[in-house]
Structure 1
Amino acid sequence: MANFFKPSTKKQPTGQVISVLIDRLDHNGIGVGEYKNKSIFIANTLPKEKVTAKIAEAKSKFYKASVIELVNLSEFRVKPRCHHFKTCGGCDLQHLSFQEHLAFKQQKLIDLFSRNNINTNLPWQESITSDALHYRRKARVGVQYNKLGEPIVGFRQKASNNLVQLKECIVLVEPIKHVFTILTSLIKSLSLVKSIGHVEIIYTQHVSIIVRQLIPLNEQDKTLWKNIAEQHQWQVYIDNGKEVTPLTPVTPLFYQISEQSGISTKHAAESVINIYFEPKDFIQVNHHVNNQMIIQALNWLDLKEDDQVLDLFCGLGNFSLPIAKKVRSVVGIEGLQAMVDKATYNAQMSKLNNIEFFQADLNSNWGKEAWAHRKYSKVLLDPARAGAYGALVQLIDLDISNIVYVSCDPATLAKDSQLLISNGYTIEKIAIMDMFAQTKHIETMILFKK
């Protein structure tokens, strides 16, 4: 018997206008309510707000909708300072008061810890914060082109790969917040069309611009870049995908860790540490929070002059060098030999001879390495978003009583914390570090003791 297709007569909810009460924020800062026994996600809403919304997407387990009207406002709603906020994906929480966005981040951690069977009665310490605006010293700016070949320079739109054309970004530090208009005008004038993939901007002592060049520069365009660099006192580098080379005269890039970063007064004459880096190296984007983070880490480690400290995922020496000012010895471990070489150079420039750096893949088997058989009294680790589970499995065997864990991903932190707790460690202190104000991203520090 033949079967014939019969179109569903069930009315699809997409496009319907509905009323929703927002219950909570999800981990991305998006408001969540309930409609027909399913979760409904509505951006730019806050808990306890009643909204009129239009359903944009209907799935088997949830809906997505867009706001038409905010019927009543949360007491914690504030007016976003940036007029690009509703479209630009750079910030998530500009509509939420500063104290509440810290509370949101804390609750996000509590939820993830609970999922990993960790007691959520945690010993919270005061959060490390900075100004909520004009704090970011490094950013990658996207470059796209419209149908006419004209450049669009900015950050990605919310939930999209397309860019928002920006005139300024109030999260960037003052010397670089207006760079978008300058770049747009310059790129539009280049003879090579669609020749740039993105531009990275760094501000330390100077404004440095790293141009991802998709097509080799000709002399005409080199001159345009040099002229604009001279006009605005930029250092310009060209990244061709294989190497980064300076186009203009440049001075070494470095940032400073100050005397207030827990450095002993007996080293007062050499109290400022310069951390030298290359244009593509990782550095923390928030200078103030980075300095305060170092102070806290050194305080929580309770460093003594006879301590021997292990610093895992040490990078350029951001923690290693200040620690070395206060203890007998430091060993820093990093996955890339190039970073090991730079950390070693930074130690030499600071005239520190009680610190050594070694290369190792810390999430592979490193137990037979000579440095792993030394005695350590304390350890600090600051892994990438992937976390440190493989490293911690081996670190537990070293039986070090004090561990300070600095994390940039709460999900991997929760998993790693559960491993340490199941092996006899307890959480003595925990604090949020608001490295990325106005966004959903969380940096956390935990002191574990055994």
Structure 2
Amino acid sequence: MAKYFKAAVKPKRSNQRLTVTVDKLDMNGVGVARWQNKPIFIAGGLPTEVVEVKVVEQKSKYTRAKLISITKQSESRVDPLCQHFGLCGGCDLQMLDLEEQLKFKQQKVTDLFSRSFSAQKLTDKMTAELPWEKTIKSSPWHYRRKARIGVQFDKNSHAIIGFRQKSTNQLASIKECPVLVEPLNAIFPLLKKLVALLTVKSAIGHIEVIQSDVIETNAQERCQSNNQAVIVVRQLKPMNETDIGLWQAYAQRHGWHVLIDDGKEQLPLPKEAGSFILSYELSDASKVYFSSSDFIQINHQVNNAMINQALVWLNISATDKVLDLFCGLGNFSLALAKHAEGVIGVEGVQGMVDKATQNALINGVDNCQFYQADLNSDWLFESWAKDHKFDKVLLDPARAGAEQAVLQIAALEIPSVLYVSCDPATLARDSAILISQGYKVEKISLMDMFSQTKHVETMVLFTHTN
């Protein structure tokens, strides 16, 4: 029998102009008004503002519009610091007062918890407000120590160096980025000049910039400045001698340390003095060594404050046996081990396990062992899980959350659970699981890891009610 397929219906577009009042921000920090009995989404609009907009997309259940002008301005509106705000897709909330940004993020978490608890029919478990504690904050500017910078070329082969524009794969040409730490914030014009000189421009995929506290070469300390810029150049084709020389000249002139990434490994420029490794220092003077491809917390101040708060909230004692899930390089494990009887750290990637083990060794931490396991599978049969009785557990999963892990934590009935989250939606889902298994929310706080953006990091302490 013949089958007939209808072509996809393109969303209706219109140049119609409207004047509407913004009621609220949605989960992504986009202003929401009402028009024709459905929501109209207006990026850049703030609650209480009367705005003129141009309709750009109409669908059956919602409309999108572009902000044209503001007739009545919110008292919470501030002038964005970045000259690229509105074009660059990196920040969403620079036009909103910092304290209002935090209120928005806290409400976002509260709403997601409420939805998740309702879906699981746990509304009776959430009759009181969440026990919010003070937000962990840093400077709202110059906090980011790692970023990936895009490289594109226009029709005249001129380099565009920057970040993606909002809702597109096209790059915004960036001159400076005030959320990046110094000297990374002003590196864009230098990279643009350098790329313009290269003989094989199309060979660059992207450029990653990283700030390292200390850079060591061949186990001998090379630099102790906390302003060391590491540049990782993703090369799609081998770099020729002329371009190697250009990168070397710029690296020497500006104090950069350049790595070439061919997709298989990352190596220093040929004339660099051997390989080098990077590190950052924790508030207790521990050093965490990492490579340029490793995940690290990008806000150094918030990271240290987050670790210190974890120690306080968990109230670690010398008799505690602690389980650290999704432990990474040992960011939490090293600090926990200095106060506990012992720590078991578990991570899904063997390479990270090896580095965490090495970090413990370098820092003289001998009561911490690391294991590799898929934490999204059944791990209760693993020796590190069944042979120990844990008093406390800390978990710091990726955005996908830890649905399987919290089910198994609940099965072990570990008395105290500290959940560090980078995605409030999966946090709310996993929290509902813990609540349904006999836990309660003891404390919760925001961690403003990504100021000026919609991204929310949260710490929650759960205690078992039995």
Structure 1 residue 413 and structure 2 residue 427: aligned?
Answer: yes
Which residue in 1 is equivalent to 2:410?
Answer: 396
Paired with 2:39 and 2:68, the residues of 1 have a C-alpha distance of 18
Quick check: 1:149–1:194 contact (8 Å CA) kept in 2?
A: no
Which residue in 2 is equivalent to 1:176?
Answer: 184
Paired with 1:67 and 1:346, the residues of 2 have a C-alpha distance of 50
Of 226, 232, 240, the residue aligned with 2:248 is 226
SS of 1:295's equivalent? helix
Paired with 2:409 and 2:184, the residues of 1 have a C-alpha distance of 42
Q: Given residue 189 of structure 1, which amino acid in structure 2 is its aligned partner?
A: L
Paired with 2:95 and 2:59, the residues of 1 have a C-alpha distance of 27
Structure 1 residue 348 and structure 2 residue 361: aligned?
Answer: yes
Paired with 1:229 and 1:441, the residues of 2 have a C-alpha distance of 33
Which residue in 2 is equivalent to 1:325?
Answer: 338
- Superposed CA RMSD: 1.0
Of 143, 158, 167, the residue aligned with 2:175 is 167
Deviation digits for residues 143-163 of structure 1, max 9, x if unmatched?
A: 111112221100011111110
- Comparing 83-92 with 12-21, greater Cα deviation is found at 12-21
- Comparing 118-127 with 347-356, greater Cα deviation is found at 118-127
Structure 1 217/13 Cα, relative in aligned 2: closer, same or farther at 3 Å?
Answer: closer
Which residue in 2 is equivalent to 1:195?
Answer: 203
Which residue in 1 is equivalent to 2:277?
Answer: 252
Of 149, 168, 176, the residue aligned with 1:141 is 149
Which residue in 2 is equivalent to 1:315?
Answer: 328
Which residue in 2 is equivalent to 1:29?
Answer: 29
Deviation digits for residues 326-380 of structure 1, max 9, x if unmatched?
A: 1110000000110000000000001111110000000112111110011111000
SS of 1:333's equivalent? strand
Paired with 2:316 and 2:408, the residues of 1 have a C-alpha distance of 23
Q: Given residue 450 of structure 2, which amino acid in structure 1 is its aligned partner?
A: F
Runs of 4+ deviating beyond 2 Å: 248-252
Q: Given residue 130 of structure 2, which amino acid in structure 1 is its aligned partner?
A: L
Paired with 2:390 and 2:13, the residues of 1 have a C-alpha distance of 62
Paired with 1:251 and 1:279, the residues of 2 have a C-alpha distance of 10
SS of 1:169's equivalent? coil
Q: Shift in Å at residue 193 of structure 1?
A: 2.6
- Unaligned residue ranges in structure 1 (runs of 5+): 1-11, 260-271
Paired with 1:110 and 1:377, the residues of 2 have a C-alpha distance of 28
Which residue in 2 is equivalent to 1:50?
Answer: 50
Which residue in 1 is equivalent to 2:220?
Answer: none
TM-score norm. by structure 2 comes to: 0.90
SS of 1:198's equivalent? strand
Which residue in 2 is equivalent to 1:338?
Answer: 351
Which residue in 2 is equivalent to 1:89?
Answer: 89
Which residue in 2 is equivalent to 1:124?
Answer: 132
SS of 2:327's equivalent? coil
Structural mapping, 1:258-273, within 5 Å: 258-259=283-284, 272-273=285-286
Q: Given residue 254 of structure 1, which amino acid in structure 2 is its aligned partner?
A: S
Structure 1 residue 445 and structure 2 residue 459: aligned?
Answer: yes
Structure 1 61/220 Cα, relative in aligned 2: closer, same or farther at 3 Å?
Answer: same
Quick check: 1:208–1:236 contact (8 Å CA) kept in 2?
A: yes
Which residue in 2 is equivalent to 1:73?
Answer: 73
Which residue in 2 is equivalent to 1:423?
Answer: 437
Q: Shift in Å at residue 13 of structure 1?
A: 7.1
Paired with 1:148 and 1:14, the residues of 2 have a C-alpha distance of 32
Paired with 2:320 and 2:276, the residues of 1 have a C-alpha distance of 36
Deviation digits for residues 146-202 of structure 1, max 9, x if unmatched?
A: 112221100011111110001110100121111110111111110003111111100
Paired with 2:16 and 2:277, the residues of 1 have a C-alpha distance of 58
Paired with 1:359 and 1:13, the residues of 2 have a C-alpha distance of 51
Structure 1 13/163 Cα, relative in aligned 2: closer, same or farther at 3 Å?
Answer: closer
- Unaligned residue ranges in structure 2 (runs of 5+): 1-11, 118-122, 214-227
Paired with 2:340 and 2:409, the residues of 1 have a C-alpha distance of 21
Paired with 2:84 and 2:246, the residues of 1 have a C-alpha distance of 29
Q: Shift in Å at residue 252 of structure 1?
A: 2.2
Which residue in 2 is equivalent to 1:358?
Answer: 371
TM-score norm. by structure 1 comes to: 0.94
Count of residue pairs the alignment pairs up: 427
- Comparing 392-401 with 313-322, greater Cα deviation is found at 392-401
Structure 1 159/13 Cα, relative in aligned 2: closer, same or farther at 3 Å?
Answer: closer
SS of 2:169's equivalent? coil
Q: Shift in Å at residue 41 of structure 1?
A: 0.5
Quick check: 1:157–1:163 contact (8 Å CA) kept in 2?
A: yes
Paired with 1:348 and 1:174, the residues of 2 have a C-alpha distance of 31
Paired with 2:207 and 2:429, the residues of 1 have a C-alpha distance of 35
Q: Given residue 35 of structure 2, which amino acid in structure 1 is its aligned partner?
A: Y
- Comparing 433-442 with 247-256, greater Cα deviation is found at 247-256
Of 391, 394, 401, the residue aligned with 1:387 is 401
Which residue in 2 is equivalent to 1:303?
Answer: 316
